[in-house]
Structure 1
Amino acid sequence: MMTGFRLNFAPVKEPLGFVKVLEWLTAVFALGSCGGYSVRTVVSLFCGQGTNETLDVTFSYPFRLNRVLLVERNGTLCNRPVAETHLMGDAESSAEFFVAIAVLALLYSLGALLTYTGYLHVYRESDYAPMLDLAATAIMATLWLLCSSAWAKGLQNMKYATGTVGIRATLALCQEEGVVCEVTELANMRTLNVSVVFGYLNVILWAGNAWFVYKETLWHSQKYTSQEAVGHGTFPVPF
């Protein structure tokens, strides 16, 4: 078996390699639209008698909301002492899971592209390489589904926690008579919404790519060979 490196970009023009390029791109976009993202929320407190207070909150990846201060220690709002208060909720685990799978997908797709363009002759001569590739592709599709669903739920919880209803439930002062709390500048989470879309797009790409990888496996070739044998079967010659 020849194991030398042979650069050949022809597989990239085929579904096997082309889909891997798409998987790499969508992983990059999913990673970029979630990791390193920062959002800002402004809360206005209308205290009555024409006075009001403003709370400015900024939080970023990995979105540990329960560590973000809404009101600092020994704060005073609307002429009332307010205890130190943090935002409620924590999207850290779902966000980090999503980013970890995006990084893993990015690295695997790059490795697969290197194999297809440099060692395709080894890949296709091996009985096990395509099978391992198929197993890894199926696992990645499943992981993308899990992490995208978890991140979509985490993002939904984060929107609630930083919205008017969530802030009113978090800050005890908002429940006192004569004080009205409103989120007057809602955190812009469009980019985070896009990350969820890219997550589910990756599910489709990896699941679809499994078929093209399956066609490279011994299972598919044996099935095709057996079908040909049945179609061109021999019949006994009469005496």
Structure 2
Amino acid sequence: AEFLQTLIWGKIMMTGFRLNLSPLKEPLGFVKLVEWLTAIFAFGSCGGFSGRNIVSLVCGDGKNETLNATFHYPFRLSQVRLVDGNTTLCNHSVTTTHLMGDSSSSAEFFVGVAVICFLYSMVALLVYLGYMHVYKDSDFGPMFVSICLTAALAILWLVCSSAWAKGLQNVKDATDTDGIGATLALCKGSNVTCEVTEFASMRTLNISVLFGYLNMFVWAGNAWFVYKETRWHSQKYSSQPGCFGHCGSSSRL
């Protein structure tokens, strides 16, 4: 059965397949390649993050204590232990304490959209490079679906990037000095001073937000190039005076 499935899939892939790299020289194919790369950078810079903040506690008697706040994707901070078990800090008994906040929904939404766009871009590149003759010669359906999906994904990038930007700010607030001070009861109303003395580098997370908004602009631009391949655009220009069928042709880089 597996051999039969492999054989059928091979015939489907090879039927009408004509490798042609020229679409990469056109905006329609080149932008799709850019989308594929930017999607990789987006989910890679967010999904692979792991960092640690070091919290210094200065006790009233001059003694110093140190805590580690280690957090990572998908940033379920409420499950991250700041103090593990019943511990004595600055001569005070401290129960198990977790960080505050949960940004997992926005982080996973962002990474999910990036992975979907990554996979869709690969499939679209396969169609452009091997089945462009079928794509352009077919009915209006494939192009209509393509422009709808492209526009929808551009909107999703805007939504998920905005959500993740807010989620990232929540992560920063929960792991800075004020956030740790609000989490750890020992730091409230006592002679203990709590301060984050070493911060995890969140540069990659900031970059992930930038790539999210970059993807939004790239996908919105791609929607225009897909629209230029539709009959709506070609009929619009072919109906103008002085246009003899060459106005609707695809522009090249």
Normalising by structure 1, we get a TM-score of 0.93
| Structure 2: stretches of 5+ with no match in the other structure | 1-14, 245-253
In the alignment, structure 1 residue 26 sits paired with structure 2 residue 38: yes
Cα offset for 1:31?
Answer: 1.1
Q: Which residue among 195, 202, 219 is the counterpart of 1:182? A: 195
Q: Which runs of 4+ in 1 moved over 6 A?
A: none
Does the 8 Å CA contact 1:162/1:187 hold for their aligned counterparts?
A: no
In the alignment, structure 1 residue 42 sits paired with structure 2 residue 18: no
Identical amino acids, percent of aligned pairs: 66
Deviation string, structure 1 residues 189-208 (Cα, Å, up to 9, x no partner) = 01100000100000010001
Deviation string, structure 1 residues 113-136 (Cα, Å, up to 9, x no partner) = 111111111111121111111001
Partner residue, 1:12 = 24
* Partner SS state of residue 48, structure 1: coil
Does the 8 Å CA contact 2:45/2:204 hold for their aligned counterparts?
A: yes
Distance in 2 separating the partners of 1:213 and 1:177: 63
Cα offset for 1:177?
Answer: 2.3
Cα offset for 1:228?
Answer: 4.3
* Partner SS state of residue 70, structure 2: strand
Partner residue, 1:73 = 85
The number of aligned residues is 229
Partner residue, 2:237 = 224
Q: Which residue among 66, 73, 83 is the counterpart of 1:61? A: 73
* Partner SS state of residue 24, structure 1: helix
Q: Which residue among 127, 131, 136 is the counterpart of 1:124? A: 136
Distance in 1 separating the partners of 2:207 and 2:30: 23
* Partner SS state of residue 148, structure 2: helix
Deviation string, structure 1 residues 15-52 (Cα, Å, up to 9, x no partner) = 00000111000000011101121010100110022201
Distance in 2 separating the partners of 1:228 and 1:101: 43
Q: Which residue among 215, 221, 234 is the counterpart of 2:228? A: 215
Partner residue, 1:160 = 173
